[in-house]
Amino acid sequence: MKKIASSLCVLFLLTGCTQISDEEKEFNDSGRAKAIEHEEDLWQYFMDEETGLSFKYPNNVHMEDAQGGDIKLSVVVEPIATLDDTMGYNSETAKLNQIALSSGAYGENVDFPLEASKEVVSVENTYAQQFMVLGRFEVCDVTFERKLYFFHNDNQIVITLSGPRYAIVQSMSEYFTTDPENCFEETIWDFDKQADFYLALENDQGSEVAQEWFDSFERIKNTIEFDNALDDVRSKLQGVWIDTEDELSSVSFIDDYKLDSYDNESQGSVPFLLEDASDGPQIVAGEGDGKEVFAIIEITEDSLKLLHLPRGNLLNYKR
């Protein structure tokens, strides 16, 4: 711990640090101290094993189910096929938005986004809806949420950062009013000023507590990464593959569809997805009774070997 503390003294120029020993200098110069060169390296770490999604978040931010902390973080990852929620968080809307975002378009609204806050942002190698929610359903509701909504490997991902309501209201009271008839003495939004509230934070002109919440979201977003193993497989799959035992037979993977052909005549196409099984990636093609599963035994730029499960047929293809 002494070595790390001394490293922090050097890296963050803390006051009261004494001259370091030769042993500590060797530690700093060795590269072992590199992990704490940036503030983000001391942050908490989130990882979703199913999707490979990971990011870091500041120590003043707490997960939604954790005790303490004014800024709360929520991460919801769900397969598109199982979505059945309100406010647009359903399979039909997800499929439309997955297509829209793939081309950089915003798509359909989900939740209750503030119009001025809606934008498409780049997250790792994909696009996401980014928006702010300031209230839902009824006039008395005051909410502070920044949201990132996107898709990865046929999963919907929603990251929400919630700010401390009463502290923000108190510190930026000029954007709020009262409505005794509907909300008694409760402070509520001056709805004509919601866009101005957002723009103030965008321009770094919010109160300290509001700006901390707003800026923490941006900093978290910038640390998002994916384990791209399945993405690499998907990229290599794309194109036409010829059966090495029957050159009239071929299989093509075009975007998210698997197409079978024989003698240049289509035998039909079905959607496919990749799954990371315990013994390696698998192709799951089609749905219901027609679903087929293929274990990927080998894939290179020029060759593809698949094992048809559960029958065990080995299929060999060349580019």
* pLDDT, tens only, 259-280: 999 999 998 999 998 887 767 8
Q: Tell me what the pLDDT averaged over the chain comes to.
A: 88
Q: Residues near 217 by Cβ (< 8 Å), separated by ≥ 6?
A: 146, 148, 161
Question: Domain 229-318's class?
Answer: mainly beta
pLDDT at 289: 87
How many CB atoms within 10 Å of residue 114?
16
Highest mean pLDDT among 43-52, 187-196, 300-309: 187-196
In this prediction, residues 246-250 reach a mean pLDDT of 96
pLDDT of residue 277: 77
- Tell me which fold the domain 38-226 belongs to: Protein Transport Mog1p; Chain A (3.40.1000)
Kindly write down the DSSP assignment for every residue of 159-192, as one continuous string: EEEE--HHHHHHHTGGGEEE-HHHHTT-EEE-GG
Is pLDDT above 90 for 32?
no
End-to-end CA distance of the chain: 55
Residues of the chain within CATH 3.40.1000 domain(s) are 38-226
Q: What is the pTM of this model?
A: 0.67
Residues of the chain with CATH 2.40.128.570: 229-318
Whether 210 contacts 171, CB under 8 Å? yes
169-to-30, 112, 197 alpha-carbon distances in Å: 49, 19, 11
Nearest Cα neighbor of 59 from 72, 46, 43, 47 is 43
What would you report as the CA-atom Rg of the chain, rounded to the nearest whole angstrom?
A: 26
3-class SS of residue 151: strand
pLDDT-derived band at 1, boundaries 50, 70, 90: very low
Q: How far apart are CA 40 and CA 220, in angstroms?
A: 9
**DSSP summary character for residue 17:** P
Q: Among the listed ranges 20-34, 68-82, 198-212, which one has the minimum average pLDDT value?
A: 20-34
pLDDT band for position 30 (cuts 50, 70, 90)? low
* pLDDT classification of 124: cutoffs 50, 70, 90: confident
Percent of the chain with pLDDT over 70: 88
| DSSP run (H or E) holding 208 | helix 208-221
Q: pLDDT class for 254, splitting at 50, 70, 90?
A: very high
